[in-house]
Amino acid sequence: MQIGSTQIVDTFAEAFRLRFVRVVVTAHDSHWLEAALRAVCGYGTSVLGCDAEIGVERRLDPTETPDGRRGASIMAFSFSPEGIGRAIANRTAQCLLTCPTVSVFDGLPAAAERTALGGHIRFFGDGFEKTKLVDGRRYWRVPVMDGEFLAEETVGIEKGVGGGNFILQGDTLEGTLLAARRAVAAIDACPGTILPFPGGVVRSGSKVGSRYEGLRGSTNEAFCPSLLGRVPTELAAGTACALEIVIDGSDEPTVAAAMAAGMRAAAGPELLAISAGNYGGKLGKFHFHLRHVLANS
């Protein structure tokens, strides 16, 4: 299969089950909203080393937020309900409670499984916090130096999919970077997904395991151009740069749609091939065959 001059390798991306929360963050203006998003999404790239994979799902107009202010929806993913509960509570306490004018709301109010958010952070109020019930949803108001921090008592947890991916292979660094940016822009428009890595792109694609004891993941040498001739390769002839796009999403169809959108946007004269990372089907239950994903999008 080809998209223009770009070969679509006959392979699959291997993804796995994660749990996720969706949180709506609002602020007084775009400056403080962006400050809050940078802080809360920091160090949130891979569950191999971070407490959560976290990113901005989309920006929200004031007409779309519970308090009529500028906002954004963020999604955070981790392996277990307990893990994602700890991660979102800690990140909210450290990064959103501290940011001027910010409020936090549940983005999955219908979810049956819940974890404490405002119910955890309220203790910072040292007895001066207050609770309020609005339309059946409970909030906590914590006094802070610019007024009050408002947070929903709990947030919902749902099952999601982590690790959908494809790998761009280009004949120059500049061209591959341009293709990656096209892919990221296309996926950013896909609801229900996040790209947790810097700028939406991973240059350090990994494999499971390592020759070093205790390391769960290590460099995927088959996609490293600097190792050509030294190890078996999965790079197309002439590849000088490979970059991976990793997608977390709310379910399989959502991740597949985002993969298709990203691959179609990335394909072009800069790219020799688009491949994917998998572990022979041994890591994750979700297998996204690239040609099938594109044919059905």
Per-residue confidence (pLDDT) for residue 16, from 0 to 100: 95
Q: How far apart are alpha carbons 242 and 223 in whole angstroms? A: 7
Segment 127-141 shows an average pLDDT of 95
- Where residue 187 falls among pLDDT bands split at 50, 70, 90? very high
Per-residue confidence (pLDDT) for residue 214, from 0 to 100: 86
Chain centre distance of CA 81: 17
- DSSP per residue over 184-234, as a string? HHHHHTSTTEE--SGGG-BSS-EEE--SSTT-SEEE-GGG-GGGBTTB---
- Where residue 295 falls among pLDDT bands split at 50, 70, 90? very high
How distant, in Å, are the alpha carbons of 26, 51, 77 from that of 157?
A: 20, 16, 10
Per-residue confidence (pLDDT) for residue 168, from 0 to 100: 98
Q: Are strands 271-275 and 154-170 parallel, antiparallel or unpaired?
A: antiparallel
Phi, psi of 289 (to 5 degrees): -75, 120
For the chain, give the percent of residues with pLDDT over 70.
100
Per-residue confidence (pLDDT) for residue 281, from 0 to 100: 83
Per-residue confidence (pLDDT) for residue 256, from 0 to 100: 98
The overall average pLDDT reported for the chain is: 97
Q: How far apart are alpha carbons 139 and 235 in whole angstroms? A: 52
Whether 2-15+161-295 shares its CATH topology with 19-158 is answered: yes
Domain spans of the chain?
Answer: 2-15+161-295, 19-158
Taking 90 as the threshold, does the pLDDT of residue 279 lie above it? Answer: no
CATH of the domain spanning 2-15+161-295: 3.30.70.520
The count of other CB atoms within 10 Å of the CB of residue 181 is 15
Q: What is the pLDDT of residues 82-133, one digit of tens each?
A: 999 999 999 999 999 999 999 999 999 999 999 999 999 999 999 999 999 9
Taking 90 as the threshold, does the pLDDT of residue 37 lie above it? Answer: yes
- Tell which CATH architecture fits domain 19-158: 2-Layer Sandwich (3.30)
Per-residue confidence (pLDDT) for residue 107, from 0 to 100: 98
Q: At what angle do helices 252-266 and 173-188 cross, to 10 degrees?
A: 140
* Token pair in block for residue 19: 């749990």
